[in-house]
Structure 1
């Protein structure tokens, strides 16, 4: 493996719109396309190959491969502008790498098949907006699209704190400052505290990883800023439950009150292949914090939230995961079998039949 071959492999992946590349010892590179992992016809990689790839990635940001490596995140850019989010890890005493392709530009809501109500949510003057979902289901892309919407429509100071920086923003109507954990700052929580002295209007925290970061995000939202972040949760109710659960039992009632006051919306995402298998579509749950949902949060009645989301579809443009799955089925974009693999409920078929009447 040399630099030319590595950049050639990455360049092909970028052009072919591959979503991920896997480099592991004793296997050829694998590519993920349209959700399927494809084994390439390239030679199997040696320990020296994967170590070379890891060192090359880290060298771009003047970092070295740690001797005691377990796992770390980084970013890598090609000369032509293609970018990758990189996960470097140790497995079976060798170095492994997974590289996620970052799209070449920040797409608008309609290009991503996202509901236009996201634009309305972005116009909140302050508070906390959370984008959630499993790994690899479009959180970063959706978050970037929302920040770009603000960048193009409002004159704000936007500060992002990321690990690593993924999408590169160019300031438009807004001014955008992007800081990378491990390079520009020591941690999410330290950068968050510093950001409050940088005249922010909007703060984006790449991920709420720990209690200190969660508390700092809530405080930033309480002091009049619009804060965006992500969580690896699958629904609005599980998101709120996860946030509250990070705090000691004797503090959870107060946290529920604080969340009810500052939570603007949660956007929960899953990706699904369309009928043709050639296109990936987002399935989106949208919860906006109405007075009814605020009461559910304050009183800990999280299991009632989905019902209120479904009831608020017409007035507030909210939707549950199942409502969106039913819509995609009715539009004949996906099959019922595909929808069943995504749904968390047991009565999707009944909902589909009832809605179709």
Structure 2
């Protein structure tokens, strides 16, 4: 899950070398491996030819003990047991496929099956069935206010495995419990499943319920939503549609693979042709409500904790976006603490001071090393 994590490659190599290069026994099935993933509180399970099954635990890759090296036949059987016939066709045609796999009532997994060196491989990401609350995630209280915005665009950003989907699930869950809204999610694949509570929730999965993000977004306004969750803004078409939906009075939540508010805004604007960018800046300045850019940091005693940069779109932020001066956003975030804003470095320093993470781990994620060290020392 993490952006920067330790990797016990040596352990994996040693386990592979010590194992007999035969397929897993037929008595060992994918269910056994997924149960082990859940039991050991791993974030991911990796299946690949030439290695034993490997778990990612607290950011580190660790082979499952007493499991042999997988050959191609074993890998094929393990992966195919999680696919239906249509999914197998898509994987065969596209050479890679994202999907979700429900493991009874215990858990769900987001899976990416792909080809490497002519063989199948897969990464299984564990998605808890229990819907987290914002408080349980250890997020700042200002994140709760995102659920109260009447309209606009809210971005949750970060590298792959930084907990973006979990944060968004907690926000959507809060709206679902507290407000009578129509919530529409468009995801690839669906990760957390939301049962309608006070709100009406409709979840659409790309490949199953719609052909693409862009097609689902085009029809979204005809489905009478109040809130739209877009799993990922991938290109000009999806970004443009998200802006349009937010401009027409809806609340839109979306993710980007970016590391800061400034980078997120630049990414959205830069996908458009140069002649359109002034107009997009103006539109974005009008609709953007907040950006949460987060990372997962190894915690003392095990597990990981969220560290986040939070920007709230006040009048100063809107002016900066409109004028194309995103390099000034960091300063605005630094001075906006009374409005709930916080820099990544301030968040990391606070976690160190609280004894939640080590200085060395926090330093690995610092944006401005001198500022981080100053904040840790309380200067």
Please report the TM-score for the alignment, with normalisation by the length of structure 1: 0.96
User: How far apart, in 2, do the equivalents of 1:174 and 1:61 lie?
Assistant: 32
User: How far apart, in 1, do the equivalents of 2:87 and 2:262 lie?
Assistant: 42
Q: Using the TM superposition, give the Cα deviation of residue 11 of structure 1 relative to its aligned residue in structure 2, in angstroms.
A: 1.7
Q: Any idea what SS the aligned residue of 1:196 has?
A: helix
Within a 5 Å distance, the mapping from 1:252-271 to structure 2 comes to: 252-271=277-296
Within a 5 Å distance, the mapping from 1:1-357 to structure 2 comes to: 5-40=29-64, 41-59=66-84, 63-64=88-89, 66-276=91-301, 278-314=302-338, 316-347=339-370, 348-353=372-377, 356-357=378-379
User: How far apart, in 2, do the equivalents of 1:62 and 1:237 lie?
Assistant: 38
Compared with structure 1, are the counterparts of its residues 195 and 345 closer, same or farther at alpha carbon in structure 2 (3 Å cutoff)? same
Structure 1: tracts of 5 or more residues without a match: none
Q: For the Cα contact (< 8 Å) 1:57–1:74, is it kept in 2? A: no
Q: Any idea what SS the aligned residue of 2:195 has?
A: coil
Q: Any idea what SS the aligned residue of 2:223 has?
A: coil
Structure 2: tracts of 5 or more residues without a match: 1-23
Q: Using the TM superposition, give the Cα deviation of residue 243 of structure 1 relative to its aligned residue in structure 2, in angstroms.
A: 0.3
User: How far apart, in 1, do the equivalents of 2:85 and 2:248 lie?
Assistant: 37
Q: For the Cα contact (< 8 Å) 1:19–1:101, is it kept in 2? A: yes
User: How far apart, in 1, do the equivalents of 2:51 and 2:196 lie?
Assistant: 42
Q: Using the TM superposition, give the Cα deviation of residue 235 of structure 1 relative to its aligned residue in structure 2, in angstroms.
A: 0.2
User: How far apart, in 2, do the equivalents of 1:145 and 1:24 lie?
Assistant: 33
Q: Any idea what SS the aligned residue of 1:23 has?
A: strand
User: How far apart, in 2, do the equivalents of 1:137 and 1:260 lie?
Assistant: 26
User: How far apart, in 2, do the equivalents of 1:202 and 1:61 lie?
Assistant: 31
Q: For the Cα contact (< 8 Å) 1:21–1:99, is it kept in 2? A: yes
User: How far apart, in 2, do the equivalents of 1:46 and 1:65 lie?
Assistant: 23
Aligned residue pair count: 353
User: How far apart, in 2, do the equivalents of 1:303 and 1:92 lie?
Assistant: 42
User: How far apart, in 2, do the equivalents of 1:266 and 1:57 lie?
Assistant: 36
Q: Using the TM superposition, give the Cα deviation of residue 158 of structure 1 relative to its aligned residue in structure 2, in angstroms.
A: 0.2
Question: Which of 285-294 and 335-344 deviates more?
Answer: 335-344
User: How far apart, in 2, do the equivalents of 1:296 and 1:70 lie?
Assistant: 43
User: How far apart, in 2, do the equivalents of 1:181 and 1:286 lie?
Assistant: 30
Question: Which of 18-27 and 8-17 deviates more?
Answer: 8-17
Q: For the Cα contact (< 8 Å) 1:164–1:181, is it kept in 2? A: yes
Question: Which of 290-299 and 109-118 deviates more?
Answer: 109-118
Structure 1 partner of 2:5: none
Q: Using the TM superposition, give the Cα deviation of residue 68 of structure 1 relative to its aligned residue in structure 2, in angstroms.
A: 3.8
Q: For the Cα contact (< 8 Å) 1:11–1:78, is it kept in 2? A: no
User: How far apart, in 2, do the equivalents of 1:250 and 1:65 lie?
Assistant: 38
Q: Using the TM superposition, give the Cα deviation of residue 275 of structure 1 relative to its aligned residue in structure 2, in angstroms.
A: 2.1
Q: Any idea what SS the aligned residue of 2:192 has?
A: coil
Deviation string for 1:234-279 (max 9, x for gaps)?
A: 0000000000000001111110000000001001010001122x12
Please report the TM-score for the alignment, with normalisation by the length of structure 2: 0.90
Q: Using the TM superposition, give the Cα deviation of residue 46 of structure 1 relative to its aligned residue in structure 2, in angstroms.
A: 1.3
